[in-house]
Every structure is written in structure tokens, then in C-alpha cells.
Amino acid sequence: MITICLIPNLIFVTTSSKGNITLCHNTTKPEEFDRYVHYSSSIVTLFFGVPFLVIVLCYCLMAKWLCKSSFSSPSLRLPSYKKRSIKMIIVVLTVFAICFVPFHITCTLYYTSHYFQANCRTLNIINFTYKIMQPLASINSCLNPILYFMAGDKYRGQLRCKAAQCLRPVPTLDLVSPFTDNATDGSHITSVT
């Protein structure tokens, strides 16, 4: 479905000529830009807005369910596994928002400023910011597995042990060569049998 919805990009993104210069359009030709903004807005809504709302809603419902005490007494504290799960939900949502929201905001600003024909300096600033945000959006795919790995007690404990081993100072051995003068009484060892 995603591939089918993105096929229009193959039509919209084009080049044009100005004398002997070929212009590569970041979005589309100026005369097609109005249609491209509507298409792009639909794609952002369909492939970011809706999934983002579903993810936030589902995670919030999971957190709400975890916060409910499984006991009738409200004075009892939440078990540690529930607290860890709630923390994990908060971390995953925060990372998702940090990675994707700035990208989509700058993307929307970029298209909106083009649509309303903002001045060149404003377009360049927004374009620069947009290009910086693209890798940030992509890094989310790398961060999630690391977050889930770090959430596991077994793996986190193993990682701590390995880190402690790596950070522990290595004892140094004072090696004594049998061919050097190491004695304090002036005697020399000349051969080892």
C-alpha cells in the first residue's frame, strides 16, 4: 500500500531546463507545486499523523492499564515490573516524538513556505533544517532495538558486567628479565637453567 501511495513521487519529482542549465526540483516543477502540496499533506496525514495517534493512544491505554492496581487497596504500590513497563512506554514515545515530529514540522513548514512564496532566505533556512531532520527521523529505526535491548534485565545486567570489566584497571606485572640487574646486592644473573 505504501509503495502504491508513493508512486506519484515518481511523476512529481522532475527536472527542468533553463538555457544550458538543468534544474533538479526538490519537490516538483513550480507549475505542479500546488497539486504536490495537497498530495504531500495527504501522505503526511496518512503515514505519520494516523499512525502517530494510534501509537500514542495504544501506549496511553497500556500505561493506564498498568497503573491500575491489581489489588483492591489503593495504598499498595505498583510492582516494579509495571513501573519498568510504564517507564519504557514513556521512553519509546519520547524517542519516537523526538525523531519524527521535528522532521514532519519542518517538512510542513518547507511546503507551506513554498506555497506562500516566502523569501529565499527563509526558504533556505527551512530547507537546511529539513535536511538536518531527515537523518533524525531515520535514526528512530536504530534506537528502538537498542532501547528494547537495554530494557531487558538480563541483558542490561550483562552489559553492566562487561562495562565494569572493561573499565576496571588492568593490573600491571613487573616482569623481571633474568638477564638484567634486578638484585639490590650487586649480584648478576647471567644464565637460567
Could you give all domains of the chain from N- to C-terminal order, each with its CATH number? 35-66+80-167 (1.20.1070.10)
Please provide residue 7's backbone torsions phi and psi, each rounded to the nearest 5 degrees. -55, -40
Number of helices and strands in the chain (H, E): 7, 2
The answer to whether the pTM exceeds 0.75 is: no
pLDDT at 100 over 70: yes
pLDDT of the residue at 193? 46
Whether the Cβ atoms of residue 133 and residue 103 lie closer than 8 Å to each other: yes
- Percent of the chain at pLDDT > 70 equals 80
Amino acid identity of residue 164, one-letter, is A
Q: What is the mean pLDDT of the chain?
A: 79
User: 184 CB contacts (<8 Å, ≥6 apart)?
Assistant: none
- Higher pLDDT among residues 114 and 50, named by residue: 50
Give the tens place of pLDDT for each residue, 55-89. Answer: 999 999 998 888 886 555 555 678 888 888 898 89
